[in-house]
Amino acid sequence: MRNCLFLLLLFFQAAFAQNQNNLCKATDEIADRERIFFQRNLIPGSSQASSNFQVCYYRCEWDIDPAIRYIKGAVTSFFTTNASDNSISYDLSSQLTVDSVVYHGNKISFARPPTDLLQINFPAAVSAGQKDSVTVFYKGTPPNSGFGTFTQTLHNGVPVIWTLSEPYGSKDWWPCRNGLDDKADSLDIIIRCPNAYRASSNGMLVSETDNGVTRTAFYKHRYPVASYLVAFAVTNFKILNHSVQLGNVILPVITYCYPESESSFQASTPKVLTALSLFHQHFSAYPFINEKYGHTQFSWGGGMEHQTNSFITSANENLMAHELAHQWFGDKVTCGSWQDIWLNEGFATYLSYFYFEKTDPANHISRLRILSNSITGLPGGSVWVDDTANVGRIFSSRLSYNKAAYLLHMLRWVLGDTAFFRGIRQYINDPQLAYGFARTADLKRHLEQISGKNLTEFFNDWFTGQGHPVYTARWRQNKNKWAKITLSQATSHSSVSFFEMPLALKFKSGTQEKTVVVNNTKNNEVFWEDIGFVADTMIIDPDYWVLSRNNISIKEPPASLVDNDIKIYPVPSSSVINVAIRNPAAGFMMMRMFSASGQLLSQRQLSTPGRDEEIQINISKLAAGVYLLRFDAPGFKHTGRFIKK
């Protein structure tokens, strides 16, 4: 975090002299709406601000009348130069008029190139590393970019203006660095509006004054923030005040809703308090704990995770959990590339499922089943975005939201709860990432450090790889009630030849059930498991921990029903023989080899826990002839023979 304290002091001295059944549908709608909006706004070169400076603080003063689609304001930015230069350039729509630019108390020249830029020309070159500030006075009607960059509309006949800038829409209504490569350390927002209305924005409301004509709201935000996460809304809001205890902190939770929606928001806010406590406990402290969290109602039809103040269309439980989760994943740590959009949207989607897992566990498995089916309905597709020029691909609900959420669900399964949550907490609190930007490799590194596991194969399969496994399990039980499982796997896409995963198998009878977990690392792998009862059914992955589809479980008849049934083969043999022991008594069995004349040649104690045994014996050094194998166990004796040729 860059230190702008002395500049702030100088400036202020100068200034003041849905319900569970709709869960997956709601998630798809979130993705669909965001994709449509981005389609309108995500264009090459949208951020053209010069790279020779970084902003560390914004002070924004805006005059807003929600009945008129118009903005008038002054934005002061404190910045640090990266290189010596005579000018810097901000992003700002060419449809907005700049009245003047003030630098060190004097008006200076500026230019408006034929693109959405504001070029500020200094009287002399600003040295590299210099901390400085400039104020832009501007006004105008922002461009109409579609779903919400700067929207004036009505709710219940009352005018409202709100903003939604992700990713490059901020320039439509205020001068800023509009890219995803820099965050200001802090922010002040002052909004003047007719006193019939109230303004909602980021951070804490420091003061609100009413002079009988206008109402002035002063918001202060003291955390790093990307320009697209800055927002405001103005209308006749009803304000609801709640709070939640997070550790030693009582966090204010403030809702700005339309009066006609007061009852629904009042009823649903306790769910947000529950989600805040849950995420705070499992994923690290609420990122903006010294300020607030809140909601502002707007009319877009979905939600947007504006920092400390999510804008949502309604008090939908899934939507509220999703946007709250973004305060950690998207706001505190922001994806550093659209290839890694899942670090924002996959986490937010997964945390909403995690919330319902804890608050409505009876329906958790059915939600996962629906989610799994929505992903595996097509055979391909990776979480990694392979075409960042394709907005539909970036905001694919199936891949960037749903499959990404399932990837996290499977990481939790592979690592176990302790390592998974510790790894996520270490990732989100990494000083190099916190309140900055991250890539997938950063998350992988932290999870590996905590768990001690190499996750390269996992990420190759599930992040860059496409598709999912299709399992076939053939199984049978011996008389000792042990099950032999032969597990084979096909993959839905050729990019992955085999998905190495632990897999749960549930055995059931009319009165009993048991789940075992096998670590499936190769095709046609054989596992023996002690079930303890005669099962009639085996279910593959009953709790939907692994993303798969069309799995088949086939019960086969037992190989033998005879106790201690021993077969020696092949006979004759010149190199090796195999000894198959079916339904052995649990314990130990002594196996001795004799020559035809009765000479003891070797002996070996066999552990027989109850599974069928397959033993291979090298006889290549024996002379040709007939040999005996004698087997002894408590209450059991058997002698077989083989021929060495």
Ordered domains of the chain (ranges, CATH): 52-234 (2.60.40.1730), 469-555 (2.60.40.1840), 565-644 (2.60.40.1930)
Q: What's the number of CA atoms in the CB half-sphere (13 Å) around residue 546?
A: 26
Report the pLDDT value the prediction gives residue 145, as an integer from 0 to 100: 63
Return the pLDDT at 301. 74
Structure tokens at 587: 């314990």
Low-confidence ranges of the chain (pLDDT < 50): 1-25, 40-45, 146
Looking at residue 47, its pLDDT comes to 77
pLDDT digit string, tens, across residues 95-115 = 999 999 999 999 999 999 988
What is the DSSP annotation of 354-392? HHHHHH-GGGHHHHHHHHHHHHHTSS---SS-S-TT-HH
Q: How far is it, in rounded angstroms, from Cα 401 to Cα 444?
A: 18
Contact status, residue 300 vs residue 164, Cβ threshold 8 Å: yes
Alpha carbon separation from 445 to 41, 399, 408, 448, 538 (Å, rounded): 33, 22, 15, 5, 37
Residue 310 pLDDT = 98
**Under 8 Å between Cβ of 489 and 540:** no
Separation between Cα atoms, residue 97 and residue 116, nearest integer Å: 11
Query: Which pLDDT belongs to residue 147?
Result: 55
pLDDT tens, position by position, 25-55: 355 666 665 655 555 444 444 678 999 999 9
Write out pLDDT tens, residues 140-151: 999 976 456 899
pLDDT for 236 = 98
Cα–Cα distance between 132 and 81 in angstroms, integer?
Answer: 8
Helix (H) or strand (E) holding 41: helix 23-41
Structure confidence at residue 37 (pLDDT): 52
Q: What is the per-residue pLDDT for 284?
A: 96
